[in-house]
């Protein structure tokens, strides 16, 4: 996989544009959608521009009766059609992120009420199934907790690049991070995945990050440079109040992203109306 920005001048102009587009005010990234079944050209352009420049935008819609179908419709208008057919995804491409009582599903943290650390979606996927965007939409919030934080992974790259080129070099190593295969009863549900943490995704010609802060079952390439670089990345992620956003989604709010780095806090459910987010993971970007 190709390294990002072989050309320093190209990197510098990309960096300067990114930094000049950045705003700490979440409102600047918000698009209120009047009719989700037919995005206006202003809404459509603002979503595309904001996601193109900043890797995410926030949406707000009005009360609906069938959320899955409406979200699916918004996403398909943005070209988000080819979705990742992983476990637990339903026919229209959306997964219900809610606490699951099924034992196999509840082994996966998204389907519990537990904290979920920094990650990009599909970090274990093969190239054919690379997740380039994901959408999260809140149908029911939790009673308390369940706050989502996210940060444009491109800004993380910039921070690390400005700190040390050696860190970037190590994180771009072709074998930097391996996720072992998921094998159940001798059946391979997902093959082993080895690759860099940052690379240039040639299909979209955009910087891509595959990462999870969860160290269980993750192997980093056995070199001092890589372990130090991963340490530097984790340390940086503890101290990014200047570039990260945190928000506890209300009903009818959602996030559209070019697979930014994100996490969520643990939560307590209202037993009568458990937290429910609809999540889509797609193979193309929003831009």
Q: Work out what residue 279 binds among Fe ion, ligand AKG, none; the CB cut-off runs from 5 to 8 Å by kind.
A: ligand AKG
Q: Which is nearer to ligand AKG, 115 or 231 (CB)?
A: 115
Q: Are the C-beta atoms of residues 166 and 159 closer than 8 Å to each other? A: no
Q: Which of 258, 89, 79, 243 is nearest to 155 (CA)?
A: 243
Of 78, 79, 59, 193, which is closest to residue 129 (Cα–Cα)?
Answer: 193
Least Å distance, CB 90 to ligand AKG, is 14
Cβ proximity to ligand AKG, 18 vs 285, nearer residue: 285
Report 145-174 residues binding ligand AKG (CB under 6 A): 148
Work out whether 110 is an interface residue with ligand AKG (CB under 6 A): yes
**5 by DSSP, 3-state: which?**
coil
Binding of ligand AKG by 255 (CB under 6 A):
no
CB of 156 to ligand AKG, least distance (A): 16
Q: What's the rounded Cα separation, in Å, for the pair 213 and 201? A: 21
List the one residue from 33, 57, 71, 116 that touches ligand AKG (CB under 6 A).
Answer: 116
Pick from 53, 121, 152, 201 the residue near ligand AKG by CB under 6 A. 121
Q: Of 221, 210, 56, 50, give the one whose Cα is nearest residue 124.
A: 210
Cβ contacts of 91 within 8 Å, gap of 6 or more: none
Least distance in angstroms from the C-beta of 88 to ligand AKG: 10
Q: Judged by CB, which is closer to ligand AKG: 124, or 161? A: 124
User: H-type helices in the chain, by residue range?
Assistant: 8-21, 41-54, 67-77, 153-163, 165-171, 224-237
Smallest separation (angstroms) from ligand AKG to the CB of 264 = 4
Angle at the Cα of 109 from the Cα atoms of 105 and 110, rounded to 5 degrees? 85
Question: Which partner, ligand AKG, Fe ion, none, binds residue 159 by CB below 5 to 8 Å per kind?
Answer: none
Minimum distance of Fe ion from residue 281's CB (angstroms)? 8
Q: Which is nearer to Fe ion, 97 or 207 (CB)?
A: 97
* 122 contact choice in Fe ion, ligand AKG, none (CB below 5 to 8 Å, kind-dependent): none
How far is 264 from 212, CA to CA, in rounded Å? 13
Which of ligand AKG, Fe ion, none does 285 bind, CB closer than 5 to 8 A by kind? none
Q: For residues 78-97, which are near ligand AKG according to CB under 6 A?
A: 97
Instruction: Report the residue closest to ligand AKG, judged by CB.
Output: 110
Q: Could you tell which of ligand AKG, Fe ion, none binds residue 47, using a CB distance below 5 to 8 A set by kind?
A: none
- Note the residues at the interface with Fe ion (CB under 5 A): 121
The residues, any chain, with a CB within 8 Å of residue 46's CB and separated by 6 or more, are 31, 57
# of chain residues touching ligand AKG (CB under 6 A)? 10
- The answer to whether 57 touches 80, Cβ cutoff 8 Å, is no
3-class SS of residue 188: strand
- Local structure of residue 83 (DSSP, 8 states): B
For ligand AKG, the binding residues (CB under 6 A) are: 97, 110, 116, 121, 136, 148, 262, 264, 277, 279
């Amino acid at each position: 996989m190709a390294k990002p920005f072989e050309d320093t001048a190209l990197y510098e102009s990309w960096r300067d544009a990114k930094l000049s587009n950045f705003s700490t005010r979440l409102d600047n990234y918000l698009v209120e959608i009047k009719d989700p079944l037919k995005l206006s050209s202003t809404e459509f352009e603002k979503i595309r521009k904001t996601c193109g420049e900043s890797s995410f935008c926030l949406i707000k819609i009005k009360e609906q009766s069938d959320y899955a179908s409406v979200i699916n419709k918004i996403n398909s208008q943005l070209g988000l059609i080819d979705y990742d057919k992983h476990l637990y995804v339903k026919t229209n491409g959306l997964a219900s992120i809610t606490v699951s009582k099924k034992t196999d599903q509840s082994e996966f943290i998204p389907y519990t009420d537990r904290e979920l650390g920094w990650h990009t979606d599909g970090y274990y996927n093969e190239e054919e199934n690379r997740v380039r965007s994901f959408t999260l939409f809140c149908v029911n919030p939790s009673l308390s907790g369940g706050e989502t934080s996210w940060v444009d992974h491109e800004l993380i790259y910039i921070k690390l690049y400005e700190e040390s080129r050696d860190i970037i070099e190590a994180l771009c190593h072709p074998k930097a991070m391996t996720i072992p295969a998921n094998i159940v009863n001798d059946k391979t549900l997902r093959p082993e995945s080895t690759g860099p943490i940052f690379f240039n995704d040639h299909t979209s010609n955009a910087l891509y990050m595959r990462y999870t802060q969860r160290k269980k079952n993750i192997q980093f390439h056995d070199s001092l440079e890589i372990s130090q670089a991963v340490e530097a990345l984790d340390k940086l992620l503890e101290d990014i109040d200047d570039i990260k956003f945190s928000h506890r989604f209300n009903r009818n709010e959602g996030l559209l992203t070019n697979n930014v780095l994100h996490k969520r806090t643990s939560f307590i459910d209202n037993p009568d109306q458990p937290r429910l987010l609809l999540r889509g993971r797609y193979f193309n970007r929003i831009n």
